[in-house]
Structure 1
């Protein structure tokens, strides 16, 4: 082959290689259209704007607001539960202090009663001397009634204290049985009227409240212990149960009138003025 033929063959090979190289180089790695690639190069932020449509989506905004409201409601519920717990603790503490004060006052009043009885004159008069001094017959002396033993009063006081301490230590539910036992063991004690009152209060304080038992014990205080310091309060509680729980306005009015007529100067009577 001549030199001229070699030159022509080489020239044809170079020209054909260029034709095959053009489509390979003109095709991008991402297989995108050259026009779109060029537009993306000219505006690089356009792809980012199109890829994040969430910021302008109304549904997304509503979802975010709903989640925020849910979080706020959850926080408020937590605060309300905490405050309810604090109120419950304060209520129990106040009731405990009230029970303790009532216990102290009752014990003080009962401790004064034996002294008053001792200071009273003897109801049995001394027998008058007979006219005949020479009569050797002895006069018949009527014995005085035996006083209540001091140890019996101490037992009553201790039993009543145990019943109230059960409330201060374990709440109303655990105090019901000790108070019932006290009433059963000492039905004629100076503390029995107060015991019925506290038994009614304990039945109101449990969950759920036992209005039937509470009402029954308040009735005992109002009817059998009208001179008790708890009688006016018992009538007011009976009024409240009839008016607020039973929705019996006629019965509530009866309790109200009885309270105002029997205890017009009581603290409970002031509630209706």
Structure 2
């Protein structure tokens, strides 16, 4: 086979390979430039390959952005769930506080039978505690509430609301995913054996340990909730978390 035949065959093969890109216009500078037909076809193939690489990079970028958006949606869903849970707890706390006021005796009194209605006749103390709670419930000022509860604990370290104040601080830190500080506050609540917040505080300690990868410690907290408060909502949540 002579050189002309080889050249003609090579040209035919390149034409057949380049046929799919015929619809994609090559740059004017490439088409209009000099050179043989084979060289022009090679430049067309190179342009096609470069276009495919650019498209693949764009697709990869879009896939990454979609993955990031999906992650943001999941995090937002979790945050919303935490807000709903916190609001539910806050409404329950306000109901307890109002019940305590309506049934409060003239003198300070605390009963083991119903520790959730512990109440003091110190109106300044009551006002300070309720103001801190209202910063969460009414004002949605969570940073201000954190400062208010800390100030309350410093001013009234022996208050009947001490366990509750630590509990709400724990909730505030937990919602911000500040698990180290939340753990300190919930641990403080767990020291009050008669607190109606103790079961949930132990549950939160278990959830924090679980989030930190300490499964054994988490299960210990969960089991403590189940054993100590078997009929509580916290116990049901602890069973589901194990």
TM-score category (smaller protein)? 0.5 to 0.7
Q: Is the 8 A contact 2:171 2:182 kept in 1?
A: yes
Gaps of 5+ in 2: 1-24, 32-39, 109-118
CA-based RMSD of the aligned residues comes to 3.7
Q: Is 1:256 paired with 2:225?
A: no
- Structure 1 stretches (4+) deviating beyond 6 angstroms? none
Q: Is the 8 A contact 1:173 1:206 kept in 2?
A: no
187-196 or 260-269: which moved more?
A: 187-196
Gaps of 5+ in 1: 1-47, 119-146
SS at 1:265 equivalent: coil
Cα distance in structure 2, aligned partners of 1:94 and 1:242: 22
Q: Is 1:265 paired with 2:234?
A: no
Q: Aligned pairs, how many?
A: 191
Cα distance in structure 2, aligned partners of 1:89 and 1:248: 23
The 5 Å alignment of 1:1-273 reads 51=31, 53=41, 56-57=45-46, 58-70=48-60, 72-73=62-63, 76=66, 79-80=69-70, 83=73, 86-87=76-77, 90-91=80-81, 93-94=83-84, 97-115=87-105, 149=121, 152-153=122-123, 155-167=124-136, 169=139, 172-206=142-176, 209-211=178-180, 213-224=181-192, 226-245=193-212, 247=214, 249=216, 251-270=217-236, 271-272=238-239
1:242-262 residue CA offsets vs partner (Å, 9 max, x unmatched): 34426262x444433332222
SS at 1:215 equivalent: helix
Once the 2 structures are TM-superposed, how far is the Cα of residue 178 of structure 1 from its aligned partner? 1.0
Once the 2 structures are TM-superposed, how far is the Cα of residue 228 of structure 1 from its aligned partner? 2.4
Cα distance in structure 2, aligned partners of 1:268 and 1:85: 24
Between the two structures, name the one with larger relative contact order (CA 8 Å, sep ≥ 6). Answer: 2
Based on CA coordinates, which of the two structures has the bigger radius of gyration? 1
Q: Is the 8 A contact 1:197 1:234 kept in 2?
A: yes
Cα distance in structure 1, aligned partners of 2:211 and 2:167: 19
